[in-house]
Amino acid sequence: MATAPAPHDPLEPLPLVVGAPDDHTINESLFQYVWKPTGRGWWTVFLISVAGVCWFLTAVVVTISKGIGTWGNNIPVAWAYGIINLVWWIGIGHAGTLISAILLLFQQKWRTSINRFAEAMTLFAVLCAAMYPALHLGRPWFAFWLFPYPSPTRMWPQFKSPLTWDVFAISTYFTVSLLFWYLGLIPDLAALRDASKKKLQRVAYGVMALGWRGSGRHWHDYRLAYLLLAGLSTPLVLSVHSIISWDFATSILPGWHTTIFPPYFVAGAVFSGFAMVLSLIIPARKFMKFEHVVTQKHIDNMCKVMLATGLVVAYGYLMEHFMAWYGGNQYEAFVFRNRRGGPYAPVFWTMIFCNVVVPQIFWTRRARYNLVIVWIASVLINLGMWTERFVIIVTSLHRDFMPSKWEMYYPTWVDWSLYGGTISFFLMCFLLFLRFLPAVAASEIKELRAEMVHDQGAH
C-alpha cells in the first residue's frame, strides 16, 4: 500500500471517492444494503437464477446417468462445450486476481473499490469452471483417480499430462483465491459485526470475523501477509491460464501446437475477465448506489485495460494466422484456412468482430463514458471470448490430419443446458454475495480516503 503517495496522482482529476464522506458515512453507505430488507428486484433475479440452477442439475443428471453420448461430442471432436466453458470461466476468473493482486503490487489505488467484487467473481467463476473437468469425463465417478493417492494398485496419475497439471493448477488457484479473499474480508466482517444491530447478525458476522479487533499488532502482520498473498497470486494467475493453454499447446494438433498460447491465453483471460467485471458492476453500482466509490474513473480505467489486452489478443490472432502461412506446415496452414473459410467460419468472424473490432471503440473518450455502450461492448466481448475457445477447440479437432475422419460437431440441448446452467449458478452465488457480504472493501476505502485527505492536507 502507498507508503509514500505519489506527489501527483496520475488518476486525477477524476476522484476515486466522490465527495469527502467520513468513515462513518462510508460504513453506512457501503453496508446499508446488508441491513435493508431484501428488495423485490433482488428476489426476481435470484429466483430466476435458482431456476437456472435446477435446469443445470437436470442436465447433470442426464449426463451422468446416460453418458457423454447425450452431448454432441464425437470422434474426432472429442472435446467441445465442456472444455470451451472450462477455459471461458477460468479466463473470467483471472480479472479478479489481477485486479486484487497485480494492481495492488503496482499500487494502483483505484483497484480498492472494485477488488472485493472482482475477487468474489473469481471464486464463483473458478467454481463454475471446476465443474466441467469432472462432468466431461466418461466415468465421472472416477474423477478422484486424477489425484495422487496411495492405492493397492499403485497406479499413480501420469504427471506428463497437462490434464494432471490442470488438476493442481485449478485447485491451487481456487484455494489461494479463497484465502486471499477471506483475509481481505476479515476487517470488514468485523466492521459488520460491530455495526450490526441484531443479535443474530452480530453472532454470524462475529464468527466470520474470527474476533478481529483491528489491533495495531495484528495490522502489522496482516498487511504483510496480505501483500505476500498478492505476491503469490500474481505468478499463480499467470501460471494457471498458461497451464490451461498447455492442454492444447502440448498436443500435436495443428492449431493447438503453438508456443504463442500461454501469453495469448493470459491476455485473453484478463480481457474477458474485465469484460465480465464491467458487465456485472455497471448494473450493480447503480442498484446498490456505489456510484460514489465505483466512479466513472474506474470504468474508464477498466475500458483502457480491455483495449490494451484486446490488442494483445488481436496480435495473437494475427500471429497465429501469419505463422500458419509463414511456417509452411500444410496441416497448420489448412486448419487456419478452414477457420477463415470452413464450415465454422461464421463463428470465427463473430470472434473477430467481438474481440478485435468492438474494443476499438474504447479509443474514444465518449464511448468510455457512455455506460450503455460500455456495458453492451463488455457483453459482446464475453461472447467473443467464448467463440474464441469454440474456434480453437472445435475447428482444430473437426478437421485434423486424416481427411478420412473429418466430422462436423453440433451441440445438443444438454450442452446448452450445462452452459446456461453454470451461468445461472454464477449469478446465484453473486447475488448471495452482494446480499450478505461487503461488496466493497470498506476498510481499504477508509484508508484510501484518509490518504487522500492527507494528500490534500499536503498541498
Partner 1 sequence: MTRQTWVLGEFATPQGMLGAVRHLRRLGYKNLDTYSPYPVEGSSEALGLPRSRVALFVLVGGLVGATLGYLLQYFCNVYDFPINIGGRPPHSPPTFIPITFEVGVLLGAFSAFFGVMALMRLPKPYHPVFEVEAFRRASIDRFWVSIAFAPAEFEKKHAAEELSRLGALQVATVVQDPASIQVYK
Partner 2 sequence: MSSLDPTGPDVPIARLRARPERRLWRSLEELARGTAPAGPEFPPGASAPPEPSRRDFLQLLGASAALAGLAGCVREPPEKILPYTRRPEDVAPGNPLHYATAYALDGIATGLLVTSYEGRPTKIEGNPDHPSSRGAAGVFEQALLLSLYDPARARAIRYRGAGRSWRAFLEYAAEAVDLHRKDGGAGLCFLGEPDASPLMADLHERVLRALPAARFFSYAPLAEDAAYEGARLAFGRPLQTRVDFSRARVVVSLDADFLGGGPDRLRAAREFASRRVPESELSRLYVVESALSLTGAMADHRVRMRSSEVVQFALGLALELSPQLQGGPHTQLTATRPLHVMARDLLANQGRSVVVAGARQPPLVHALAHAINAALGNADRTVAYAAPTLPDMAAGPAALAPLVADMRSGRVETLVITAPNPAYTAPADLDFGSALGKVPHAIYHGLYEDETAAQCAWFVPATHSLESWGDARAWDGTVSIVQPLIAPLFAGVTHAELWAAFVGEGDRGAHALVQDYWRRQPGRPDFDAFWEEALHDGVVRGSATRTESVTPRWADIAAAAAAAAAKPTSGGGIELNFLPDSKVYDGRFANNAWLQELPDPITKITWDNALLLSPTTAGRLGVESADLVEVTLRGRSLAAPVFVLPGHADDVASIALGYGRTGLNEELAQGVGANAYLVRPSDAPWFAPGASVRKIGRRARFAITQDHFTMEGRPLALVATPRELRQHPERIEEQRAALPTLYDPVPYPSYRWAMSIDLSRCIGCSACVVACQAENNIPVVGKERVARGREMHWLRIDRYFSGPSALDPEVVFQPVACQHCENAPCEYVCPVNATAHSDEGLNEMVYNRCVGTRYCSNNCPYKVRRFNFFDYVGQRTQPERMLQNPEVSIRSRGVMEKCTYCVQRIERARIDARVAGRTIREGEIQTACQQTCPTRAIVFGSLHDERAEVARLHADERRYDLLHELGTRPRTAYLVRLRNPNPELS
Assigned C-alpha cell, 166: 490442470
203-222 positions binding partner 1, by CB under 8 A: 206-207, 209-222
Quote the CA–CA distance of 95 and 275 in Å, as a whole number.
9
Assigned C-alpha cell, 249: 499447446
Q: How far is the CB of 325 from partner 2 (least distance, A)?
A: 16
Kindly give, in sequence order, each residue whose CB lies less than 8 Å from that of residue 2, ignoring residues fewer than 6 positions away: 107, 109, 451
User: How big is the CA angle at 343 (ends 341 and 349), to the nearest 5 degrees?
Assistant: 55
Kindly give, in sequence order, each residue whose CB lies less than 8 Å from that of residue 129, ignoring residues fewer than 6 positions away: 85, 86, 87, 88, 89, 90, 93, 170
Taking CB under 8 A as the criterion, the residue among 53, 84, 128, 176 binding partner 1 is: 176
Q: Is 172 left (phi over 0), alpha (psi -120 to 50) or beta?
A: alpha
Quote the CA–CA distance of 107 and 103 in Å, as a whole number.
6
By CB under 8 A, is residue 201 in contact with partner 1?
A: no
DSSP label at 212?
-
Q: How far is the CB of 16 from partner 1 (least distance, A)?
A: 15
By CB under 8 A, is residue 117 in contact with partner 1?
A: no
Q: How far is the CB of 188 from partner 1 (least distance, A)?
A: 9
Comparison of 1 and 333: residue with beta carbon closer to partner 1: 1
Taking CB under 8 A as the criterion, the residue among 33, 117, 180, 425 binding partner 1 is: 180
Look at residue 403 and give its three-state secondary structure.
Answer: helix
Assigned C-alpha cell, 66: 446416460
78 interface partner picked from partner 2, partner 1, none, CB below 5 to 8 A per type: partner 2
Comparison of 66 and 286: residue with beta carbon closer to partner 2: 66
Q: Which residues bind partner 2 (CB under 8 A)?
A: 66-69, 72-79, 136-139, 142-143, 145-146, 155-158, 160-164, 167, 247, 250-253, 330-331, 334, 397, 400-408
Nearest to 388 by CA among 299, 323, 437, 320: 320
54-113 positions binding partner 1, by CB under 8 A: none
Q: How far is the CB of 210 from partner 2 (least distance, A)?
A: 37
Quote the CA–CA distance of 312 and 305 in Å, as a whole number.
11
Given the rule CB under 8 A, which of 34-42, 78-86, 231-239, 346-354 is the region that contacts partner 1?
231-239
List residues binding partner 1 (CB under 8 A).
1, 3, 22-24, 27, 148, 154-160, 164-165, 168-169, 171-172, 175-176, 179-180, 183, 187, 190-191, 193-195, 206-207, 209-225, 228-229, 232-233, 235-236, 239, 243, 246, 442-444, 446-447, 450
